[in-house]
Chain A
């Protein structure tokens, strides 16, 4: 359960610019700190759509300075500089670098299924490190508990296979007749590329050791157990080919590109057709890449991948982890939590289509999924009339996630919009600042949540950051901490007015509807959706600096022209991802 004072504070990235310490301010026992650092443009005008490192305002539109390299030919390894396709930022910092990207647990399950044709029941894995998105490659590691998990799972899975399964997996239809072919087939399939001769040798040696067992199927199981533990199975490599190992700039191999496309969009290993395209070298050309992406987008699972992105972008939580005060939010409990989860699912399936648009994500009305949930949302007497619930930001699950145990939170919601929806960065509060908020009480000096936060942020030091947060969050006050409608709080009418500042659509808004309408018209927002798509599909944050990777600029162009989410995906995935630099 969530403690009443606990705010599940969202991530703020370091913006990198500080303002001078102004000294102690004693309104709410604020310990002297470095002061809020507004990472929004200094004069509040133009703002960055990525990370601001210099603090100077940068253009917000899609005319960012990016290199416009064409797709390189695979394997050439020629050194490329700006204008020739190399994705470098300022000071030559590589935009994308070589890495080994561990599979998420869902991808691991899908890969086991794809490899072996079975769906074993696996224990829950150990938790991964947390970050902006759960699938970021820097976070997905293999500490001891995870290594043990994979080890035990591999052993169990190998033991679980029936004789029929093993025969099915054998190229000659039965065991005993073609051990080497079995090994080559399994290893190749598991590694998503043909096995090297060294690999075949080492797995054959393992097979021979295992052949001493009394069970004649054991050597085959041992090979399977081994490949399930292999880093070539557990990670997707993006390191290029051996002959270019020492090159500063290199290309992904075709097979690496195939894995990248398939896992990023479909969450599973590349299908045979894509692997065949890779074997023919087709993914090394822009035309081939675009065609391959088109083929993937045509598969029924592509929309599912898009929906997964939206779900992660909106930070839809596991509702079972969201505790609320059920006395205050009458009726909140497992049923409502499940229904909210369902509501999010239904909404995302509705808007997460290839023909969908970015504006629709924040403006399409949330469908009603159950009368029980509808009744819950109208449970506050001042909200009994119900109201409009527009867009993903008004999902019960999203509102509950960005709220407290027994309170709403203009700051959390404002920060969510700033960071996730507009891609702007605001610093975390300084260390040791007391950020706990008490619920307002009837008859007390502070009666509405808005008043609580206005008191907090009247402080000039805090206002440096909070001016960008609170005015975005106040329009959400028509939804309480559990997402219910309300128009009064402690007998006082709720003021839902707010203001957009530091955006390309700055204006005063009277309520939540006007807020999301403004956001939907914003080019900042549209560009942010493309950037978030990059962050999620590529499993990394964009590098610091003003040059965005080509994938981002292509994605932005797609949203600016056709506006289709399917074209966004095409733009992101068919960019020249094959030009990378190794970071030493």
Chain B
């Protein structure tokens, strides 16, 4: 479980990106009197799927009753929105590759040899709008075997551009927190319901070892150099673009945008009063592009007076391998806690957690009595018929196991007060799988579960069964609207329209 730290100092210049502090005071955002909650999105992937009768029981009038294996969500029902009769619109072969590529992108594959999706994932579309000037545009974590082919990718910056999640919690921590100092006390006391509305103060201010201690001169010089390095490279790219045709220019424009985002991250992190000899690039396009970085921390608008209420450093030790269920569990917990901390400390508003990969093999996971324990849990279990009792029992165990971890995440967020409710009210978890009803690798009736987001209009506490099959992109479109993205559709259904019932 995450520990609270009393006083902690960290090497401020570890990577030379500058010293970063968690107190929002030092992030160059104006504090205003009125509290406005951020919006957050978490994409959560677990492999395979479930027989449809494992989902909650519908009890009429969009109400539902949990049953095994979803019993673990008991108490969280008001936050849950189950949606049935959503289809993937594109299938290739057995759908393990086209499914994982599609679950959060709504896209087909660029081509069948590479297996990468032909467009950005929904988190990258939403990120520029809800980023709020946080230091990281998005964070991506995995519990997986380290491979990076298309069966291991759920998020895409753009077509054919996968974002690989970080499997090493320590590396993820280093990147997310990048030399940050945790203040004394770590934030408000849980359960006190304290909000952080007082202008000019921050709940993470340390009473000693003050986070307002200015960085030393070398750190400032380093940050100036870093900014200037990015600026020079950006200018050179633009010069090269002048020689190129439109396709090549566009290719280089992605690089320009990437540099702009890196520069933004440097600027977000710098203490007030530092020299600003490097200018923030204001030329990167941030409109009309799902992959645009932000400049100057102001795209999407800073969230005034928002301060994390429970920012803690989390444990990062453990045996991070797939050799045993115990190791896998420990790993999932560490990554989940880290993700919650990243959100609670407002390092980002977008996260993804990917458990295993499509058609996950997980050798020896839930050893079965099927007579053969081989290289692949999935192959031994999923390819039996849907009525095979042993197979169904194993699926029950599989879903129970993963549901417990999704519920754990939801509960961690729900335990952190925010505004009049909790962080879970302002965070939407989208839980998806790569096949529909499995066994037959069907692309129809994909179970999507939306948890959270009551604070910004998600119609939680319901079981939504569409009268007829709908393209999953309609659900994605409704979610885009919830985050303030004015989209007519999503993925390979650009005119799909929003699915009714997802928003209040």
Interface readout for A229-252 with B: 1 if CB under 8 Å, 0 if not?
A: 111100101011000010000000
State in angstroms the CA–CA spacing of A39 and B113 once bound together: 18
How far is A213 from B226 in the complex, measured between Cα atoms in Å? 13
Q: How far is the CA of A456 from the CA of B114 in the complex (A)?
A: 24
> How long is the Cα–Cα vector from A146 to B262 in the complex, in angstroms?
11
Residues of B within 8 A of A88 (CB): none
Determine whether B162 belongs to the interface, using a CB cutoff of 8 Å to chain A.
yes
Question: In the complex, A343 Cα to B218 Cα: how many Å?
Answer: 53
A32 at the interface (CB under 8 A from B): no
Number of A-B residue pairs with CB-CB distance less than 8 Å in the complex they form: 213
Q: Are A240 and B113 in contact (CB under 8 A)?
A: no
Residue of A nearest to B216 (CB): A214
Contacts of A226 in B (CB 8 A): 225, 228-229, 232-233
Given the known interface contacts A100-B252, A129-B114, A212-B221, the answer about A6 and B96 at a Cβ–Cβ threshold of 8 Å is yes
Q: Kindly state the interface size class of chain B when it binds its partner.
A: 35 or more
Alpha-carbon gap, A431 to B244, bound state (A): 35
Residues of A within 8 A of B251 (CB): 100, 138, 141
CB atoms of A143 and B374 under 8 A apart: no
Contact B246 A206 (CB under 8 A): no
Answer yes or no: B270 CB below 8 A from chain A CBs: no
Contact in complex: B375, A245 (CB < 8 Å): no
A window 565-584: CB within 8 A of B:
582-584
Q: Which of A139, A210, A245 meets B242, CB within 8 Å?
A: A245
Task: Find out whether the CB atom of A222 lies under 8 angstroms from the CB atom of B359.
Answer: no
Verify if B417 is at the interface (C-beta below 8 Å from A): no
Given A141-B251, A147-B259, A436-B93, check contact A323 B361 (CB 8 Å).
yes
A10 and B90 CA atoms in complex are apart in Å by 18
User: Is A321 interfacial (CB 8 A cutoff)?
Assistant: yes
Q: A130's contact among B15, B158, B160, B218, by CB below 8 Å, is which?
A: B160
**Cβ distance B54 to chain A, nearest Cβ, rounded Å:** 22
- CB pair A141 B255 closer than 8 Å: yes
Residues of A contacting B164 in the complex (Cβ-Cβ under 8 angstroms)? 126-127, 145
Contact A145 B157 (CB under 8 A): yes
In the complex, chain B residues whose CB is within 8 Å of the CB of A131: 111, 114, 160
List chain B residues, Cβ under 8 A from A143: 157-158, 161, 254, 258, 291
A357 interfacial contact with B, CB 8 Å: no
B379 and A4 within 8 A (CB): yes
| Residues of A with C-beta under 8 A to B91 | 431-432
Given A99-B248, A130-B116, A6-B359 contact (CB < 8 Å):
yes
* A interface, over-half SS: loop
Q: How far is the CA of A463 from the CA of B244 in the complex (A)?
A: 43
Q: Taking CB as reference atom, which chain B residue is nearest A324?
A: B375
Tell me the chain B residues, 184-229 only, with Cβ under 8 Å from chain A.
Answer: 217-218, 221-222, 224-226, 228-229
B128 CB to closest chain A CB (Å) equals 12
**Contact residue among B160, B225, B291 (Cβ-Cβ distance under 8 Å from A144):** B291
* Per-residue contact bits, chain B 435-457, to A (CB 8 Å; 1 contact, 0 not): 00000010100000000000000
Which single residue of chain A is at the shortest CB-CB distance from B175?
A148
- Distance in angstroms between the alpha carbons of A209 and B275 in the assembled complex: 11
B218 partner residues in chain A, CB cutoff 8 A = 213-215
A527 neighbours in B (Cβ, 8 Å): none
A339 at the binding interface (Cβ < 8 Å): no
CA distance A405 to B114 in the complex (A): 17
User: How many Å lie between the Cα of A486 and that of B343 in the bound state?
Assistant: 57
A202, CB-defined interface residue at 8 Å: yes
Report if B149 contacts A (CB, 8 A): yes
The reply to whether A582 and B245 form a contact with Cβ atoms under 8 Å apart is yes
Whether B148 sits at the interface, judged by CB under 8 Å, is yes
User: Which residues of A sit under 8 angstroms from B113, Cβ to Cβ?
Assistant: 8-12, 130
* Chain B CB within 8 A of A326 CB: yes
Is A311 positioned at the interface, with any CB of B under 8 Å from its CB?
Answer: no
Assess whether B97 is interfacial by the CB under 8 Å rule.
yes
Query: B97 contacts which of A6, A152, A229, A405 (Cβ < 8 Å)?
Result: A6
Asked whether any CB of chain B lies closer than 8 Å to the CB of A1, the reply is yes
A428 adjacent to chain B (CB < 8 Å): yes
| B90 and A3 contact, CB distance less than 8 A | no
A9→B248 contact, CB < 8 A: no
Residues of A within 8 A of B374 (CB): 325-327
List which B152-195 residues lie within 8 A (CB) of chain A: 157-158, 160-164
Q: List, in ascending order, chain B residues with CB within 8 A of A5's CB.
A: 93-94, 96, 441
A122 to chain B, nearest CB (A): 14
B225, A209: Cβ atoms closer than 8 Å:
yes
Task: Select one of A6, A203, A212, A230 contacting B217, CB under 8 A.
Answer: A212
A142 touches B255 (CB 8 A): yes
Question: Is residue A98 contacting chain B, with contact meaning CB distance below 8 A?
Answer: yes
Return the contact of B16 from the options A155, A231, A327 (Cβ within 8 A).
A155
Q: Which of B90, B237, B293, B443 contacts A231 (CB 8 A)?
A: B237
Expressed in whole angstroms, the minimum distance between the Cβ of A10 and any Cβ of chain B is 5
Which residues of A sit under 8 angstroms from B383, Cβ to Cβ? Answer: 4
Asked if A222 contacts B229 (CB within 8 A), the reply is: yes
Given A144-B137, A206-B229, A235-B240, A4:B259 Cβ within 8 A: no
CB of A7 closer than 8 Å to a CB of B? yes
- Is A484 in contact with chain B by the CB < 8 A criterion? no
Complex alpha-carbon distance, A270 and B147, angstroms = 33
Complex Cα distance, B243 from A327, in Å, reads 57
Of the candidates A97, A144, A225, A582, which one forms a contact with B157 in the assembled complex, judged by CB atoms under 8 Å apart?
A: A144
Q: In chain B, what residue has the closest Cβ to A126? A: B164
**Any A CB within 8 A of the CB of B287:** no
**C-beta contact mask, A396-409 vs B, less than 8 Å → 1, else 0?**
00000000010000
Would you call A151 an interface residue if the criterion is a C-beta within 8 Å of the partner chain's C-beta atoms? yes
Residues of B contacting A432 in the complex (Cβ-Cβ under 8 angstroms):
90-91, 443
**Contact partner, B233, options A9, A145, A229, Cβ 8 Å:** A229
Contact of B261 among A7, A129, A144, A325 (CB under 8 A): A144
Contact A583 B246 (CB under 8 A): yes
User: Which residues from chain A contact B112 at a C-beta distance below 8 Å?
Assistant: 9-12, 428
**Does B378 belong to the interface (CB within 8 Å)?**
yes
**Complex Cα–Cα for A101 and B291 (A):** 21
CA A240 – CA B218 in complex, angstroms?
Answer: 41
The reply to whether B376 and A4 form a contact with Cβ atoms under 8 Å apart is yes
- Residues of B within 8 Å of A203, CB to CB, are 232
Cα distance A3–B99 when bound, in Å?
13
Task: Bits for A196-218, please: 1 = Cβ < 8 Å to B, else 0.
Answer: 00000011011001101111001
Chain B neighbourhood of A225, CB < 8 A: 225, 229
Chain B positions 52-89 with a Cβ under 8 Å from a chain A Cβ: none
Cβ 8 A contact of A100, one of B108, B163, B244, B441: B244
A435 at the interface (CB under 8 A from B): yes
A405–B379 touching, CB < 8 Å: yes
A202 to B235, CA, bound (A): 10
23 of the cross-chain contacts (CB-CB < 8 Å) are A5-B93, A6-B93, A9-B112, A11-B111, A98-B244, A99-B244, A126-B164, A129-B116, A130-B160, A131-B111, A141-B254, A144-B291, A151-B226, A151-B229, A154-B229, A202-B235, A210-B221, A210-B225, A231-B236, A231-B237, A245-B243, A325-B374, A327-B374
Q: Nearest 6 pairs between A and B by C-beta?
A: A130-B114, A147-B258, A583-B245, A11-B113, A239-B243, A129-B160
A129-B160, A141-B161, A214-B218 given; 16 more Cβ-contact pairs under 8 Å: A1-B361, A5-B94, A6-B359, A8-B113, A12-B111, A100-B244, A127-B164, A143-B161, A144-B137, A144-B257, A155-B226, A210-B225, A212-B221, A321-B149, A405-B376, A584-B246
A-to-B contact residues, CB < 8 Å: 1, 3-12, 97-100, 126-127, 129-131, 138-139, 141-148, 151-152, 154-155, 159, 202-203, 205-206, 209-210, 212-215, 218, 222, 225-226, 229-232, 235, 237, 239-240, 245, 321, 323, 325-327, 405, 428, 431-432, 435-436, 582-584
